Structure 1
């Protein structure tokens, strides 16, 4: 995907934010403070699935979708010096951006975002987020993703006073990313990381299950040849949370 196309997709996000809510709802307020670009209704949004089998398990029937975010960051790996072994996963870090409005109103656009944002320099990404933030009284940055241990992913949404939502998970199932997923920047790389289903563990508040889907980049090379003791691989993914 070319840089210009990536920027056009980012621009489309801005446009979709403006048209997401009918004009009669009074969204156009002074300084754009009322444009709804976050916290859109997710009641009709559907978790994406791969077009081929195997498919990732569905959410539990008694749960409802509560958040959709776009994660942009790095998958982290370690290697033994001079080893030809496969790199060892060492967690991930990412910024989580509210994606509820494209999930609600333009899901096809949402599914373009992981591949598009992976091509955009972080400075441009932050600029786009800053522009969106000036248009909304809500937080565009929804939270942060990190690991609290070797195998415990954390999604921390406590970005402002009063926020309590945090998800600590364990992987319960995974499937390979579709073959046409974006492999990395300029579609060059070692592939998109797996799609995952996660169940909550101790420390969670506000969620029961989570999914990582529509991934772009993030996979390590097959061996540690010519790699340092630790390294990062850029990735982007959609994260869907249920409660």
Structure 2
């Protein structure tokens, strides 16, 4: 089956000085990834068939959802917080290299990702939810769309952004965008979506290596670490903690040998948002 049946193109613009968000290439699934994609859709078909015989329609209740754990677990959410939203992030981890020191390790330089609402899939079908990062990473990202932000617009993203869906994962609608506002502040803007989830400038609180079996990137890159982030002053919507889990790809090579001064590595991850 053609890859275009699984992914619709995503093209959005950014706000402030944030980088432009990636565009997903709907025709780029490599041949060796079709087995994984087929497994995903076969499992999805089974769930749909089962739901026809169930007395209740699957819900998006997050109250009993259990967050995935790495072999060395991250600290749990703080007491009193509840899971507010789960998003699938698809984008790039960004790095820089000093051409004069090719033996040095690349330096992390933020990330850019589009976020899609995975709450219902994760809550109703956790086994399918666990496959989301793998399936979405099988489709390449095109060159960043050359779309300038509209300073006059009251919205942080153009209206067309709000209508985007990620077709291979059952048409998940956009939740928002993830980028860095400075070198140490990962930012999640989810006020542009219909759910008005909030905005979350964050700081890193803890990290743990991804599981050894975590999906590798398109060029064999290891999965980036799992993280616990805490929100900084200015967060809205009651958001207080954000977890990055179920990562796929995104790690830089060990050294800068043969690498350009600026480069990106494609990745996918789930972001779990907790608040009060």
Verify: 1:150 aligned to 2:171, yes or no.
no
Verify: 1:45 aligned to 2:45, yes or no.
no
Number of residue pairs matched? 221
Does the aligned pair in 1 maintain the 2:176–2:193 contact within 8 Å?
Answer: no
Q: Which runs of 4+ in 1 moved over 6 A?
A: 17-25
Alpha-carbon displacement from aligned partner over 1:198-238 (angstroms, at most 9, x marks no partner):
01102211201010011000000001111111000000001
Q: Unpaired segments of 5 or more residues in structure 1? A: 28-35, 134-138
SS state at 1:208 partner: strand
Alpha-carbon displacement from aligned partner over 1:110-134 (angstroms, at most 9, x marks no partner):
11111221112347xx88539955x
Q: TM-score, normalised by structure 1?
A: 0.80
Alpha-carbon displacement from aligned partner over 1:26-80 (angstroms, at most 9, x marks no partner):
x8xxxxxxxx8xx821111011102x3x211111121000000110000000011
Q: TM-score, normalised by structure 2?
A: 0.71
SS state at 1:11 partner: helix
Does the aligned pair in 2 maintain the 1:6–1:117 contact within 8 Å?
Answer: no
- Please state how far the C-alpha of 1:189 moved relative to its aligned partner: 2.2
Alpha-carbon displacement from aligned partner over 1:132-158 (angstroms, at most 9, x marks no partner):
55xxxxx70111100000011111112
**Aligned match of 2:247:** 215
Structure 1 234/241 Cα, relative in aligned 2: closer, same or farther at 3 Å?
same
Verify: 1:129 aligned to 2:148, yes or no.
no
Counterparts of residues 85-104 of structure 1 (less than 5 Å):
85-104=104-123
**Aligned match of 1:33:** none
Question: Residues of 2 paired with 1:3 and 1:223: CA distance?
Answer: 28
Verify: 1:57 aligned to 2:89, yes or no.
no
RMSD: 2.8
Structure 1 58/161 Cα, relative in aligned 2: closer, same or farther at 3 Å?
closer
Higher helix share: 1
Question: Residues of 2 paired with 1:209 and 1:141: CA distance?
Answer: 20
Question: Residues of 1 paired with 2:246 and 2:65: CA distance?
Answer: 15
